[in-house]
Amino acid sequence: MKLIGYARVSTTGQTLDAQLEQLRAAGCASIFSETMSGAQRARPELISALATLAEGDVLVVTRLDRLARSTRDLLDIVHTIETNGAKLKSLVDSWADTTTPTGKLILTVLGGLAEFERSLIAERTAEGRERARRAGKRLGRPPKLTSHQRNAVLKLRLEGQDNAEIARLLGVSRSTVSRIR
């Protein structure tokens, strides 16, 4: 079992010193650190840290906000960690410690809440779309061509012009013209 540390600060004005000191004191064999916003999904050092995790290893962070910006992001990272057979431990957020049954339970409950929230959002979105449809609102992107332009496309086709030629005339793509019936 290896303890692998991960430290992150958001801006170049911040320093990693305190986090690195805490991770070394916790016994981390190797530490991955970077200066990058947590909003970035592709954080090279985090990706490297996750890739080095093996069965029984523990990824150690000083605080969860150094690892993830949202519950969904945290749960995705924990899933990746556990897929490798490893665990997660936060030094400050003691409840976020998948090396203990309590920490595993809390993260499982958070995962269930996130899943519930996603299903509520999907349900509300579907209801909103249905209400808009019943009210006669057109959903989706506005049409590229007006009804007058669509009629012109049909007329030009009858006159023998091909879709590419018509598209050039109207300043739209050939596929936009080809969808008009």
Assess whether 10 carries a catalytic annotation. yes
**pLDDT band at residue 122, thresholds of 50, 70 and 90?**
confident
The pLDDT score that the predictor gives to residue 104 is: 84
Task: Please spell the DSSP secondary structure of the chain, one letter per residue.
Answer: --EEEEEEESSTTS-SHHHHHHHHHTT-SEEEEEE--TT-S--HHHHHHHHH--TT-EEEES-GGGT-SSHHHHHHHHHHHHHTT-EEEESS-TT-BTTSHHHHHHHHHHHHHHHHHHHHHHHHHHHHHHHHHHTTPPPSSPPSS-HHHHHHHHHHHHTT--HHHHHHHHTS-HHHHHT--
Indicate the class that CATH gives domain 3-110.
alpha beta
pLDDT digits (tens, 9 = 90+) for 94-107: 888 888 888 888 88
pLDDT digits (tens, 9 = 90+) for 13-64: 788 999 999 999 999 989 999 998 777 778 899 999 999 999 999 999 998 8
- CATH 3.40.50.1390 occupies which residues in the chain? 3-110
